[in-house]
Every structure is written in structure tokens, then in C-alpha cells.
Structure 1
Amino acid sequence: MSAPALERPAGYGRVLAVPEFRAVFAAHVLSMLGVIVSEIALSVLVYDLTGSPLLSALTFALGFLPYLVGGTLLAPVADRFPARRVLVVCDLVCAACVAVMAVPGTGIGVLLGLRCALAVVSPVFAGTRMATLSDILGGGDLFVLGRSLLRIVAQSALLVGYGLGGLLLAVLAPRHALLITVATFLASAALLRLGTRRRPARARARVREGGGTRQLLADRRIRLLLLLFWIPAMFAVVPEALAAPYADALGAGSPGLGLLMCALPVGTVAGELYAGARLGPAARERIALPLVCLTLLPYLGYALHPSLALSLLLLLTAGAGSAYTLGLDQWFVRAVPEELRGRAMTVLSAGLMTLQGVGMTLAGLAAEAVGVRAAVAGAGVVGALCCCGLAAAARRTARPAS
């Protein structure tokens, strides 16, 4: 095949033309909306029951912290069992957990425990789903664009889901809103069961006995790629974590807070759509490391005390820089052995969520010490330096495309 043909992007239309991917895509939309609605409803329910802002906020934090447990202890599940079975069982477990939350009289301890259970299951589901995309779409450009579409759905669900959750809670009690989440998980399970083909487990016996996760992390190239996914994301969440006090400092009120929360996801969706639709695989790889080094630099603008409009522009620009993930996806799927792809994606998902939770926590501590603007600008400086170091190391370990 000629170089120009290889350079042409496959296009999102070709990905959506695959029937099995459409089933995975629709299931992802339903489960994402359900998760966001459940987070809002559970937070309100806990606050109604306790009157404690701390416990209400803890329901969100518990969505991040147990990811590390699920991603490390349960990562082998993604490869040891048929992917469709893992996905359907995860959805059914999540539906059962939320159904118990919706039962009147369920105590605070049980509610928070079930929230932890959802977060433990989530990385296994996310990793298995991403790995099965390589079975459905192959390991080339279609796979990268499929992952991109699922990330775009996740970012868009943040924009739609929080608004939808607020509207639902205006007309429904929190426990009734939780029943909608149960329905979305059950619908997702049905779509995956009926819309995807059964495939055998990915792992071979020698992988099960030899410790596939250790094998993954022993590879320097894979470790660096994981860090290139995790570290920028850890610093990128700082403005979102501090959006409320920053909006208050600007005197922007609730409308300003809403705009600040939306700017980064909008920029991310725009960047991914452009890179996926307009750039070919080779171009995405060429821009990946430069974008990793540049994506956090707009945060330095917070040191100049920008207006609301300029702050939104800075966040949009930073979000668009996350288009580097498409190039990283291409390298990651090339570096990971096929029989370990499920647990690799599970570890990737678990580390991403865990370090974003760490980033939010550190952002709060930094803002207490030096103020919101200095904390965001500092995240830009420190994050960019870390990213440049990782990018340099990744370039030295680059492997030729097969």
C-alpha cells in the first residue's frame, strides 16, 4: 500500500458502519449517562440524609479512589474470561448495586459501600470494553478512532449528563432517579449480549500462571506510555477541581461556574474530532509528543489574572491539546501483546482515574497554600516539565511501526 493511502484517516463514519461497534457505542452512551445521573442523585441523597457537605462530596471522591483496587486486583479478569461475558456481568453487578441504593431505608454506610463497589467494577468493564474493540475493529486506525469516539462520548456525557441529572432531580426524588440508572445498566447489558459476538478468552495458560500485569509493567516502553496517559491528565483536572472558588473570585456566579466546567470538555471533544477526522495515523503520531509537552502550558495564563472570557479560551486551548491521545493509542496497542490487551486497558483506565483523583486532592491543598490562580499556573509549569521529560524518554524508546 502506498504511503499516501496509509496517511489518509479512516474516518469516524467507517467505524460507525461496523454493527458490533454500534452496539458497544450505544451501550457506552447509556452507561455513561446512567453513571452521571447516579452520581448526582446519590450525592443529593446522602446530603438529604445527613446534612453533611463532607459526606456528600465523599460520594464523588469514592468514584475515583477504589479504581486502583479494581484495576490491580481484577485486571486479569479482562483476559481470563470471554470479553462479552465480562462486560455483561459487570453491567448486571452495577445494576444490582444501584437497585439496592434505591431501596428506601438503605443506610449511609451501605450507600457509600455500594458506591465503592461500582468504582471497583468500573475499570474492569472499561478495560475489557476497550480491549474488545481491537477484536471488533482490528488493531489499526479503526481501533484508534473507536477509542476516540468512546472518549468523546465520555466528555459529551459530562456536558449533557449533569444538566439532565439536575432536571431529573427537579421532578423526581433521588431514589427514583437511581432507578433510571438501573434501567441504563440493564439496557447496556442487553445491547452487549445481543449486539456483540461471543469470542474466547484472550489469555493463554502461560499468561495466567506468569503474571501478565507484571509482564506489562516490566516493559519500559509500556510504562512510559502509561505515564504519558496518566500524568498530563493528573495536572489537567486542576482547573476543574478549583472551578467553584475561581468563579467566585471572578464574581462570575453560577453561570460562570457552568461555563468554566464545560470549557475543558468542549476543547477536548473539538481536538479529538479534528485529529480523528482530518489527520492520518502518521500525522497523529508526529504531533503526539509535541502536544503532550504543550497541552498544559495555557494554564500559565492564570498567573495573569485573566477575565472569564480569557480563562475560557485558555481552557478550550488546553482541552484541544488532548488530541495527543490518538497518537498514544496507536503506540500503546502496538506495544502491548494481544493476549494482555484486556488487562493493559484495565490498568490504563484504573491509573487514569486514580491519578485524576490524586490531582484533584493536590489541587485543593495547593490552592489552600498559594491561592487558586497560583495553583493552576503551578500545575501548568510542573505538569509541562513532567510531560517534557516523559516525552523525551518515550522518543528514545520508540519502536518502528510494523
Structure 2
Amino acid sequence: MKRRIAILGFGTTGKACYQALKDRYQVYIYDENAEISENLRLTQDRYGEVDYCIKSPGIHPDQEIIRQLEDRKIPIYSDLEVFQKLLDKKIYTIAVTGTNGKTTTSLAIHHILKEAGKRVFLAGNIGRGVFDLMGLLQDGDYLVLECSSFQLKYIQDFHPNIAIITNISQDHLDWHHTVEDYQASKKKITKNQNPEDLCLVNRDDPVSYQTPSLARRESVSSCQEADAYLKDGQMIIHGQVLGPTSNFQLVGDHNMTNLAFALLAAEEVGLPIQDAFRYGASFKAVDHRLQFVAKIDGVAYYNDSKGTNPDSTDVALASFPGHITLIAGGYDKGSSFLPLLEKHKGKISQLIVMGQTKDRWIQEAQEVGLESIHPVSSMEEAVKKAKDLTKEGVVLLSPACASWGAYRNYEERGRDFMDQVKKLEEE
């Protein structure tokens, strides 16, 4: 008799799980927003038949179905957990998490290993479900996984050979409710590591740096000595000066630390560090992360739509000397913008706000003494207002908020911004 599993959520993750498992298991599906045939639908009378569930990141842990399944003591796992349990290939797993920087770090590792001729795959929170790879992976392959807190909260035995924690600050409190739960979920990435594994942490971030792990530990820093660190514009790894950070195509010390994580991971899997450094030099900026869009009348426009929390926007603002017109706002995840505004009020010449958090932005910006504050109702209006107001410096879209509600995701929001800027160019 086939084992019975339930897939909770039928988006990107859920559909990948279903296609990979439908012939091996009796699969039931739960998703209130998808059309599901009756023979596949997870109904209450079928709860007792389920051996375990695979929860998609989009299913909120407060939903009633989660409570009911937990009350029945039916195990609930993320796709990362189940994928690794079922995979019958010997692969090398590099897992990356963090409040900010995990996408850039994951993509940089993938790029460097691919340039070195390795068979390497990229999946996880980055847009491709791990179960899409089930039939592609072979013994000896490398798998880079970008791991969200939503996924890590629901792991039990998930075991990466290299675990990377870029940083841990405050985010997704609408989902986790407490900072402690959010941080604990991130830290679970090291839960099952052993002394043969490697754990990479950020020496500049106390929460990341103090994460426990049985694995060997190495650290990166942008401002103090570590296994990989920056000094006088040079990248230094294990005491060896590799070359100037100006060799790279990214901007900002935060991106240099992301690349340092990638170089340490590449060295761990056997690449000579100078080769890894050379391959890293051809890695380009991630779309929607401090992405240069255009220069109009001497003003540069940057798309940082992936700045979905205050800490991420803090990093973006720190990358410019001043005269910044900041376009911000979006879905309310419960974060305060007051520390961000207080820190950068001298750099922000104009603040343009939109979305669900608009009123909070206005109130907190007034508290710190910002005077040029402009609420708008659309991205088109925001970009036009930015052009009218900005005579020098940069226009920066870095919302410090999620895009949900107005857009399907941060990519769609970033594309809208770029489209509106392109329209300005054509005028």
C-alpha cells in the first residue's frame, strides 16, 4: 500500500513536490486558492490517513489546518527536509540563509562552481523548488540551496555539508510573531551538522556569529580580522591577500562579505582560492538588488526592490554618500522604520512613500525631523515625483517592506520601477 502524504500549498513548491511524488505516493493537496480535483483534495476525513505533510512556505503557521494537523500529531516538514530524505544520490549540499545577502551569496557560489566546471544546481527559496531536481541530480553533484526561515522552521534531520548564515536581524514578524522564533528558525540550518562539515558565519553580526554548530567554524568580516575579511580595499582569505575588491562587479562592503562567503565555500570543496577569486570577478549583480537602471539629467536610478526589510534598506542607503531620494513602503510586516530613518536622515533628501505602511513612514519620518515627505499611490506617481524633486544624487527604490498586496513579488515591483524609469528616459 502506498504511503499517503499531504502537500500544503500548491504554488511553485507544492507543484514541484506533486510532480516528483505523485507516482510513488498517494498524494493529497490542500490549497484554498487552487482548483483541486476531489480525489486529490485534502479533506478533514482524510487527515487520519496522512503519514506526514510537506508545507509550502506560503502556508502561514497560524492557519487553522496547521493547528488541526498538529493537534493530530501529524508530522509537518518543509520541502528541504523531505527532498533530502528521499534523494538516493550522494550529493554535496551548500545551504545559505540570512536576513539579507542569501540570494547574492547563493548565486555567487553557483557561479563560481559552474565557472570551475563543476556540476552544480541551484534551488530552494530562489525560485526553483528542490523537487524539480529529483530526476536531474547525479552522484557527486553540488547543490546550492537558498533557505528561508519558513523552510528551516519545519526541518528535522536536514543536513548541509556547508551551512552559511550571512546575518540574522529582524524580519517576518507577521509570520514568526517573535524575534526569538525567527532567529531560532534561521539557526536550525546548523542543527544536524557534524565535525566533518563547515559552518560559515558573519563576525560582524552577533546573532550569526554566536550560532552553535558542531561543524568547523569560519567567519567573514568587512571591518575586522577573520578567516575572510576586507582591509584597505583588498580581499584577504586565511591571511592571503587575493587582490582588490574593485576586481568585482558588485558595490558595497556588504556585497564583498557575500562574495567572501562564496569564496570560502568554493575553497572548502577543493577550488584553489586564487581560481575562486578569479571566477568571482565575473559574477554580476543580482537583479533588483542595488541594480543600476539609468542616469537621467545627471541623476542615477537604482532598483533595490529586494530590500524587503529595514536592515536590507539600511545596507542600500549605506552604499551611497548622500543626496538620496528614497522610494519606500509596501506590505506591513510589523517592522519599525524609526532606527533606519534616524541613522540615515542626513542622507535622505526626499522620502517618497507608498503602500500599506505609508502612514507609519510619514509619522516616523516626521519624528526624526525629515521635512520632504511625499505620499503617492502608485509606482508611476512615485517615479515621476522623484524626477521632479531630484536634481542631484540618486533615486533609490528600496522599500524596506514586502511587495505583497500591490505586487505578486519583489521582482514584479522592481520591473514596474524599471519600466517607469525607462518611460522617463524616452520623454
> What's the TM-score bracket when you normalise by the shorter of the two chains?
under 0.3
Q: Compare relative contact order (CA 8 Å, sep 6+) and give the higher one, 1 or 2.
A: 1
Q: Normalising by the residue count of structure 1, what TM-score does the alignment of the two structures yield?
A: 0.24
**Structure richer in strand, relative to its length:** 2
Superposition TM-score, scaled by structure 2 size: 0.23
Structure whose CA Rg is larger? 2
